[in-house]
A and B are shown apart, each in its own frame.
Chain A
Amino acid sequence: MNQVSTAFEVYQFMSEKNILIAFTGHFDHLVTTSLLKNIKNKLTALQSVTGIDKRVYNILVESIENISKYASKRSHNHNIAMLLLCKSDDHFTVITGNHILNNDVPALKEKLDKVSKLNNLELKKMYREQLISKRTDENSAGLGIIDIAIKSDNQIKYDFKPLTEQTSFYLFQTEIKIKK
């Protein structure tokens, strides 16, 4: 089968959508580290006086770590995930996607619904509470999402696309405005 035309469509799509990075595959700490190194170089090349590159990097790392925290360990696809970084004139967009067990969806959705409704002061209050609270897995995962929400002025969106009877694909998007 000839994949050349498909490849060209992928290229056109990526150009139109201003996709700087598109990665799908197995995410572990090593892959993450090499990806981040590559992304850091790209962001440093775009270096701005406003420090947007630092903010985007922060949100990227937190988003990637969010993948491994919520990935369904019981599904064989548990480490297969997706990362997209796009840049338009006035904002960056970071999108992650990963497999998650349907059973885990309600609790995660509740947490996200709660965070996405808060204003900046409320988010900072919640961040502080989690920072001094006893360390549990649930809490530390929450801290990452709250941090992303604070740094993006709460421009987070999320969705769960059903895959099988047991699993869904969890999409998490953050928009980061470029200050002029």
Chain B
Amino acid sequence: MDSLIIEATEDSPKIMFDIISNRFIVSGESRPENAGKFYTPVINWIVKFEETLYSRKQESKGDSPLVFVFKLDYFNSTSAKYIMDILLIIKKFVEQDYKINIEWHYDKRDDDMLDAGNEFSDTVDLQFDFIDY
């Protein structure tokens, strides 16, 4: 399976899911005209990545944790639903004992982005590492 890289646009975030470094990064601004069209391939990719996680585990290569990094300047409420979908898949992985960390990066002036991270973390019941910049 190849890494997934989608460059940022004015209204959609950069996706950088690097299967070598194991850092899966979503960064930038998210208010795509058609959020479903943007996020569906991303979500499908993550779902399919479970096979890679499984085979890594069989070969005992699954020691280094997978890190999901959310570093968003802004996301609209439609995107929020898709971020939730991604977190629910991560939750499934965690429940199958795959090692996963979640980093939530936020501008230190932006209390709302910190609140949003806390809200997601509580709702999906997963621990986030909060990192300001």
A58 at the interface (CB under 8 A from B): yes
Inter-chain contact B74/A58, CB cutoff 8 Å: yes
Interface size on B, residues (CB 8 A): 20
Question: Of residues 27 to 63 in A, which have CB atoms within 8 Å of B's CB atoms?
Answer: 29, 33, 37, 48-51, 54-55, 57-58, 61-62
Question: Taking CB as reference atom, which chain A residue is nearest B11?
Answer: A33
Interface of B, secondary structure class, is: helix
Please name all residues of chain B whose beta carbon is closer than 8 Å to the beta carbon of A153 when the two chains form the complex: none
Give which listed residue, A51, A54, A62, contacts B77 with CB less than 8 A.
A62
Stretch touching chain A among B16-24, B51-59, B63-71, B111-119: B111-119
Task: Give the residue of B10, B11, B111, B119 whose beta carbon is less than 8 angstroms from that of A127.
Answer: B119
Partner of A131, one of B33, B84, B111, B113: B84
Q: Does B31 sit within 8 A of A, measured CB to CB? A: yes
A33 contacts B80, CB within 8 Å?
no
Residues of A within 8 A of B (CB-CB), count: 26
Whether A61 contacts B31 by the Cβ 8 Å rule is: yes
Closest 9 CB pairs of A and B: A51-B109, A143-B77, A29-B33, A144-B77, A51-B110, A54-B110, A147-B77, A131-B84, A128-B123
